[in-house]
Structures are given as C-alpha cells and as structure tokens.
Amino acid sequence: MHLMPPADETAGSVAATWQPLPSRSRPLFLIGAVVPLAIAGLVAGGFVALIASTVLDLPRTLVVACIAGLAGLVGAAFGVWLGTSQYRHTAWRLDEQGLAVRRGRLWQRETRVPANRVQHLDIKRGPLQRGRELSTLVVHTAGTRHSSVTVPNLDAADAEHLRERLGRAIDAEDD
C-alpha cells in the first residue's frame, strides 16, 4: 500500500511526494499493451505475408504462418516494453492544492487538478482490478463534459483515501 504518511493532517499539510503505482498493477499495464500490439502484429504480418507470397509465388500457408508469427512476436515484445514503461512512469501526488498525475518518460505529461475544481469523484473497478485489489480513480473537474482525470490501477485503499480527501475539499468549498 502506498498511502502517504499522515504528516500533520490536523494542520492541513499532506506529504507531497510522488507515489508510484503498486507492483501488482504491472500485469494490467502489460495486458493493456501486449494484447493489442500482438494482434496488430499478427494482422499486419499476415497482410504482408499474403502480398509477399503472391508476388514471389511462394507457398502461401508457410509464408503467412512464419511472417505473421514473427510480426506477432515483435508486437508482443514491443507491448511488454511499452506496458512496463507505462507502469514505471506513472505516479500521483496529493498535496494541499490538489491532485497531480505524472505519466510518461519520453513524452512527459503532468496533470494538475486543483481541489477547488473537483466536481465529483468516481472509483471504477474492473474484474481484473478487483482480483488484485486495485481501482481507477476518476476525478471530474469543472469545465466541459469531457473534463476528467483518471489515475489507473491504484491500490484500492489509496483510491478510497484520495476520494475521501478530495471529497472533503469539495465539502469545505461548499461551506
């Protein structure tokens, strides 16, 4: 569990260190990257193999199987790299001003949600997440209907804690 240390909660300050995602979320990032890229590799490889076997007048079944299989393996290997990278380079932070989410290494993106802009909060749990005690926190912000920030595959207790803390900020704004 990656809950922040309760540093002076009475004084209103919160530990503002970047929190990594739990290691049990890594397989979900891998599944999300490996499966689509392996399928894309198989399809692209099969298409290339059909063209190559027709142009070169080679046995179609053997060529399609070899090239599509190789392309599928390359796609899966790239998916492993991508999923691992996405997992390793996603972090979140909660401080007095609100929530921040950092993603990416090559193309870094940091999203900051000030507590006074939060409209409501949702927690989503898919079947794979429930099996690993993970949740996705969805923070809906003021603005257009598509204004939301998601923090995927958080520890379920961390997601509840974030929802509670940000919810208290909403209630304080309403008072």
* pLDDT tens-digit series, residues 136-161: 999 998 776 678 899 999 999 999 99
* pLDDT tens-digit series, residues 81-130: 999 999 999 999 998 889 999 999 889 999 999 888 888 899 999 999 99
Cα 96 from Cα 11, distance rounded (Å) = 10
Domain extents in the chain: 29-86, 92-174
What are the tokens at 87? 């997992």
* 92-174 to CATH, choices 1.10.3680, 2.30.29, 2.40.128, 2.20.28: 2.30.29
Cα 96 from Cα 159, distance rounded (Å) = 17
pLDDT for residue 172 is more than 70? no
pLDDT for residue 13 is more than 70? no
> Under 8 Å CB-to-CB from 51, ≥6 apart: which residues?
none
Cα 92 from Cα 2, distance rounded (Å) = 10
Of the candidates 155, 18, 6, the one whose C-alpha atom is nearest the C-alpha of residue 100 is: 18
* For range 57-72, the mean pLDDT: 87
